[in-house]
Each structure stands twice: as structure tokens, then as C-alpha cells.
Amino acid sequence: MATVETRGIKKYYGDVVAVNGIDLLTKDGEFLVLLGPSGCGKSTLLRMIAGLEIPSAGDLLINGEVVNDLPPRARKIAMVFQSYALYPHMSVFKNIAFPLKAQRVEKPAIPKKVEWAAALFGIGHLLHRKPRELSGGERQRVALARALVREPAVFLLDEPLSNLDAQLRASARDELEQFQRRIGTTTIYVTHDQVEAMGLGDRIVVMKAGTVRQIGTPKEIYHEPADTFVARFVGSPPMNLVKREDYILGFRPEHFFPKGTQDGAAKVATFSFRVTRVEYLGADRLLYGTLGGAFADQKVIARLPSTVTVSIEPETIYDFTVEERELKFFEPSTEVRIASRPL
Amino acid sequence: MDSSTQIAPAAANRAHNQRHAVSLLDSERWLGPLLIGPAILYIVLLVGVPFFMALYYSVSDTTTGGGTQGFVGLRNFTGVVGTPKFQTALKNTFTFALISQAVILLLSNTLALALQKDFRGKRLIRFLILLPWVAPISIGTIAWLWIFDSTYSVLNWTLRMAGLIQGQGYMWLGVPHLAMGSIIAVHVWRQLPLATVILLGGLGSIPKDIHDAAAVDGAGFWRHYFQVTLPLILPISLVAILFGLIFTFTDMVIIYNLTRGGPYDTTQVLASLAFYTGIAGGDLAEGAAIALFLFPLLLAVAFGFLRVARRTEVI
């Protein structure tokens, strides 16, 4: 059990700023996801926590103790790499036993621990194999078992699912989530995949260009984005953002309905929507088009669930509505969220 | 004749030639043999022919004076093997090769590890380290001849100035053990660059994640090196050692330039003995027999090393 804290942590490479002053505090046993596009500094931040990079400024605390000067091996952390970084010349058993030997665990205790970790991930039958004889999913489990075996205080995962195919990724995500709940070790997980972040994280840290844009639960991140970057980055298709002189208006595609198809007494805003293209995706229909009126010619997307059966034809103008409480407003220059206001 | 009719056949000819050239180079049946041909020719003429000539000489009674080339069976081998000269040279060959390879292995590993790190002036140092390999070996050894000179030795001068010795200093090339030590030192100086470059290549091919994983897994320097890095560069190291060993067993330039096998044959190795017997002494047949004596052993060593290298290849 442990907490990780960063205080104004920075990392420069020459003139390039990779991480620019980040303050973070994990809760004990939390699953924290660092989410952002490639090059946003999330991996650098994780590597600083691991001790593989030395911060240019700021402090890093594990369990309230400054660990800036501690080498990785003294930090009680374990890390799973995107490439898994299994030792190619060692069998699965030796891979998993390696951190134990490095920590001078008593010899007789090692096989038992290795078998325990291997059993946790269902790889007990692979112990004598070499990494090159394993499938991608099996390698990932070996990497997890190797990280887990010495019962670290903090688990660091750097895009561990990105080398798996889509189907395997979904099941691996599920297993990872269950396993983290079970062992309850504080986990920091780096990904650029917002679906992974939403599905796994207790809280998500959205990063861009070395800074934190928002920290919050998946719900907060999705429904109350702090700025237009978060609004656009999370959600697929992303939030519709349309401009007027004094504000940017945002609403999610799944809140944009043909007029009259939403029941209830909630107040709605009405837009005229010229549909240019319709995509059938089975469970959903995506409607691409432009708004009229005050938002003339600005592109938006509507996502209608298959339960909305109204017929929609391309090159036709319809009235669409959004519940007023689903409208988000952003300041046009800073793109930061502002209070709701009349349209 | 009007000019167009003159040009037309020429152009047609050129087009035909071009088509022909293109089709010849495009065909794998011709391109492959064409490209590898010169190399095969080179090997056959400059390696194959002399090798088979040496094979024949070693079972004949050929001398540089011409004379007969009669077949004498293994007489050259049985005759020379028992001589003290040959046995000394055989022993020296192994001393020279094994000690120098061990030193090279140790130093090249250290150097390669150091040169892997980033520091100022790294490129300059890499260049300097490569110099002994690039410089012509005879020029290099002549410089060493001066360094080891009995009267003007800069080595003695340096030791004297440092207060480590008094008086005249050592006769580096004139005392048996010192002479062997000296030629080993020069050989190490010469072979170190290549070994280092090969190992640097091997080190560079290890993914950075593996090193990071070892660091996070808690491995200190020695564990990291002996359990992760070394096994991963083992295949390429074996190739480096193989090259070094074979080169050391068969080379005589340093000995020829520094000691000519002396003093009292204490630095005579099989390669130099073969030269002195066969070329300088004129007994081509016995020289060939001495030169070929280690051939079966080296062949077996090469075969074994390459097999192990392939088996330990992991990535």
C-alpha cells in the first residue's frame, strides 16, 4: 500500500520541455491512468516515478518520502513495459524469479513465489518456455507476473496492452482491472487510448504538452471536461465544438437528437442540422453534417442509438435538439470551461 | 543519305542493347552469379590455390631451390613434431593466443561498456581507440620497437621519471618473459579496437527496455552485467573471440617486426617458425607442414564456436 506524489515535477531534454511542472497525488490502492496523445510527457512522467529518468526540477514522493535520489531498485516499484522487456535468454520461470533473486529473497522461497505469481495469471504451464516461444498475450502475462511477484508498493504500467490485438486487448483489460482490484496495489497506468483509460481508471489524468489538463473520475472527465482539449480527446466521436464570437459551445454526439425523439420535460435547445452523410454502424447511426442559424456551416456529428428509428436522409435539413444541461461552454481564447449561459 | 536513316539504326541498336542489359541484370539467374563471381574468383585464386598448394607441399619434399616435388607422405609432420624448436613454438603459440585473447576480452568488454555511456568527447575517444586497427600494422609495430628499445625506450624513461625503476631499465625484447609480455601487449593494442567495435555493436542491439526492466527489477551493476547484458551479447562475443583466436594463431607480423622469434626462440610461434623454416630456410615442405599443423584444430574451434553462437542466439 502506498501513495505516489509529484510536486512541481519537470523534465527538460536540452531546450525541449517534456514534463512541465506536474502536481499529482494518488490515493492508496488507486488505479490512476495517465492519458494523452503521444509526446505529451506521460511516459516520461512514469519513467521519472520509476527512477529511470531523473527529474530536472521538483520532488517525487513515495509514501510521503522524497525518493528523487533513490535508484529504481530502492523504490519498491514494479514496472511493465510496452514491449514487455522480458529477458529473452531466460525461461519464463527465470524471468519471474529475476526480481526475487535481485532482492536476495531466500533461495528455497523463490519457486513457491514464482508459482504463485504464475498461477495468478494462468501461466503455470509455460514456466519452462523461452519468451520467443510465447504468444503476445502470454508474454504480457509473464511481464505482469514478473512485476507482481515481489509484491511491490506501486505498480507502473506503460501501455501494456498496445501490442495486443483488439479482441485480446478487451479481455486483457478486463483481467487487469479485476486483478488490480484483488491485490489493491496502487497502480499508475499510461495509455493514449481513451477507451482503456475510461474503462480502467479510478481517476484519469489528462495530459497535453507536458502539463496536466484535468484530473478526475472517468465520469467527470467525460461529462465535465475542463477545456476543449479534454472534450475533444475523450469520447469517440469527440464532443462537437462550435464557435460563436464570445463562446465555444460543446455537446456530445450522443446527446444530439432529432426533435421530438427525446421524451421528458427537460429543457432543450434546438438547432437546424443539415445532414450530409449517414453511417450505419449497427448499434448506432452516425450522422455527419453542418449546423444552420447562428452556427452556420460548422461541422457536427450526431450519434443515434438504434432505438431511434426516425428515418434520416442525406442532404436534408432537420431540427435537432440537445438537452440544455448537456450543453458545455468554453472561453474562446483560453478554451477553458466556463459557466453555462443562454445561447 | 539523310540523317534520320543514319540515326534510326543506331537508336534501335542502343534500345536493343539497353533492353538486353536490363533483362540481364533483372534476371536473378545472372545477377546473383555476376555479383558473387569476383568474390569467388578472389577467394579461389588468393586463398584456395595457395591453401591447396600448401596442403601438397606439406606431404612433399619441395624446397625453394626448385628440385623435386616428390610425395613423401606424413614424413614432414612426423619429422618436425618431435623437435624441441617445434614444441617450444607450439607452447608459445598457445601462451600468446590464449593470454592475449583473455586480456582483449576483458579490456574490450570494459571499453565497450564505458563507450556505451554518453559523455563529452565520446566521438573523439571512439576514433582514437579505433586508430590502432586502422594504422598499418608494420608502422605501428615499428613505433613499438622504439618504445621497447633497449637504449632509448620511452617506457623505461617514463618508469624512471615516475621513480619506479632505477638505472638502465628493462630490456623489453631481450629477456624471455618480458619479450613474450611485450608482444602480447602489442597484440592486445592492435586487436582491442576490432573486438570493442564488435561488442559495441552487440551492446547496441539490446533493447533499452531490457536494461530498464533490469534496473526496475532491482539488479545492481554486476547482476545486471553478468545475468542480462553478457548473455545477450554472448553470440556476437563468440564470433569476436573466434576471429581473434584464429587471427592470433595465424599471424606473425608483430613477432617478425619486434623479436624475430627471439630471444632463444621464446617468442617463436608456429606461424613465424613456418615462415623461417619454409621461406627464410628454404624448406617449403617442412614450413607448410608447420603452418598446417594447427589447421584441423582451428577448423574444429571455428565449427564449435559458430554452433554455440547460433544456439545461444536469442533475439
Domains and CATH numbers, chain B: 84-269+286-312 (1.10.3720.10)
Place of cell 462537437: A240
Q: What's the CA gap between A95 and A150, in Å, rounded? A: 12
The overall average pLDDT reported for chain A is 90
pLDDT at B4 over 50: no
The pLDDT, as a whole number, for residue A252 is: 94
Tell me the β-bridge partners of A186: A154
Cβ–Cβ contact A210 with B under 8 A: no
Which residue of B218, B232, B315 is in closest CB contact with A102?
B218
Is residue A275 helix, strand or coil?
A: strand
Which residue of A85, A130, A150 is in closest CB contact with B210?
A85
Q: Quick: pLDDT tens for A279-338.
A: 999 889 999 999 988 888 899 999 999 888 888 888 999 999 999 889 999 998 888 999
The overall average pLDDT reported for chain B is 82
Q: Burial, B298: exposed, middle or buried (Cβ in 10 Å; 0-12, 13-18, 19+)? A: middle
B210 and A87 in contact by Cβ < 8 A? yes
Element (H, E) at A278: strand A268-280
Q: Quick: pLDDT tens for A79-96.
A: 999 999 999 999 999 999
> B20 pLDDT band (50/70/90 cuts)?
low
Q: Quick: pLDDT tens for A95-107.
A: 999 999 998 888 8
The pLDDT, as a whole number, for residue B9 is: 56
Within chain B, how many helices (H) and strands (E) appear?
16, 0
Give chain B's length.
Answer: 315
pLDDT at B73 over 90: no
The pLDDT, as a whole number, for residue B2 is: 46
pLDDT at B18 over 70: no
Global confidence as pTM: 0.77
CA A200 to mean position of chain CA atoms: 8
Q: Quick: pLDDT tens for A111-159.
A: 999 999 898 888 889 999 999 999 888 998 899 999 989 888 899 999 9
Query: What's the whole-number mean pLDDT along residues A16-45?
Result: 91
Mutation target to probe the B interface, by most B beta carbons within 10 A, among A52, A75, A89, A155 is A89
- What are the CA-CA distances from residue B180 to residues A105, B2, B104, B158, B164 (Å)? 48, 83, 16, 21, 21
Query: What's the whole-number mean pLDDT along residues A52-75?
Result: 90
The pLDDT, as a whole number, for residue B1 is: 40
A89 and B215 in contact by Cβ < 8 A? no
Place of cell 442525406: A314
Query: What's the whole-number mean pLDDT along residues B173-191?
Result: 85
The pLDDT, as a whole number, for residue B257 is: 82
Q: What's the CA gap between B286 and B265, in Å, rounded? A: 18
> B279 pLDDT band (50/70/90 cuts)?
confident
pLDDT at B210 over 90: yes
Neighbours of A290 (CB within 10 A): 17
Neighbours of B304 (CB within 10 A): 12
Which residue of B209, B223, B232 is in closest CB contact with A102?
B223
> What residue ranges define each of the domains in chain A, with the CATH number in brackets?
4-223 (3.40.50.300), 238-338 (2.40.50.140)
The pLDDT, as a whole number, for residue B5 is: 46
Cβ–Cβ contact B212 with A under 8 A: yes
Cβ–Cβ contact B143 with A under 8 A: no
Tell me the β-bridge partners of A64: none
- What are the CA-CA distances from residue A121 to residues A60, A141, A285, B117 (Å)? 31, 6, 39, 37
Cell matching residue A227: 477545456
pLDDT at A109 over 70: yes
Cell matching residue A179: 486483478
Least Cα distance to A99 among A78, A122, A129, A70 occurs for: A78
pLDDT at B288 over 90: no
> A242 pLDDT band (50/70/90 cuts)?
very high
Nearest CA in chain A to B311: A89
Distance from CA of A261 to the nearest CA of B (A): 53
Mutation target to probe the A interface, by most A beta carbons within 10 A, among B118, B206, B217, B223 is B217
Predicted complex ipTM: 0.83
Nearest CA in chain B to A80: B213
